[in-house]
Amino acid sequence: MELQTALTTLVTPPMAPLVGLVLALVFWFFPASSPFAKLSLPLAMFCVLSLWACATPVFSGWLGRQLAEQQRPAPDVEPGALVILGGGRNRDGETGNERLSAATLERVHWGAAKAPEDLPILVSGGRIYEQEQASEARMMAEALENLYQRPVSWRENCSRSTAENASNSAALLHDAGVEGVLLVTHWWHMPRAAESFARAGLQVIPLPVGSPGELVPRGEAGLLRWLPSASALLRTQVYIRELLADQWYRWRPLPTVRHC
């Protein structure tokens, strides 16, 4: 899991352009007759421009719309369960205290607020690292039951990825006779998640948190859309990671049910 995260970091901004700039600097010290030396300046210019572009709201907004267009149409079925996917946790390395991340809390709140109250709920998310204490599913279930008074019917505690979310959840739901689900995750994660759950044999009705139309903050309008910002760069990184992961999932077989 750590190797996968490291590789993803290397091929997404800002790391990818920075690695290119380091290579350009190395090429600069090659003999002048070398083709690598001649490549140094163009490579440096390309990396700077690409980093600038990736950090602009106009580019991140365009990329987000491309991602949203990959969402498959929802089937005309009645869902038999509400599925909420975990989105991470925050952990204090000194005290060991853990709490749900803002992304996970958004999904929990969205599911509790937007889904029909009579739908049974499945929460999905395990422990990615050994030092983590409770599974995300357990923490999500506690939030739903304590804060929203919504009982949780299934806790899928073992998954560490979207693909495992799908295969593990499908096994639990199929045993209960459920074939269609109302799926809650963020809109930018929904295309990959819905595709994974469909491959696991479930009919998916998306209930995404947010939409591409909510992307641009008030401070990034007009001319500012063309100027770099940290928030736009972060959004670009998320969208590129999702686009790459979606292609990876398309040819990779769905994992078998993971036990923990």
Per-residue pLDDT of the chain (260 residues; tens, 9 = 90+): 566 777 888 889 999 999 999 999 999 999 988 999 999 999 999 999 999 999 999 999 999 999 998 888 888 889 999 999 999 999 887 787 899 999 999 999 999 999 999 999 999 999 988 788 899 999 999 999 999 999 999 999 999 999 999 999 999 999 999 999 999 999 999 999 999 999 999 999 999 999 887 655 555 667 788 899 998 999 999 999 999 999 889 888 888 888 88
- Centroid of chain to Cα 132: 20
Edge-first strand listing for the sheet containing 121-124: 154-156, 121-124, 81-85, 180-184, 203-206
Domains and CATH numbers, the chain: 2-68+223-247 (no CATH), 81-210 (3.40.50.620)
Query: Which phi and psi angles does 199 have, rounded to 5°?
Result: -65, -25
Query: Beta partners for 44?
Result: none
Identify residue 90 by its one-letter amino acid code: N
Query: Which phi and psi angles does 58 have, rounded to 5°?
Result: -65, -40
Phi-psi sector, 45: left (phi>0), alpha (psi -120 to 50), beta: alpha
Is the distance from CB of 169 to CB of 176 less than 8 angstroms?
A: no
Confidence (pTM): 0.91
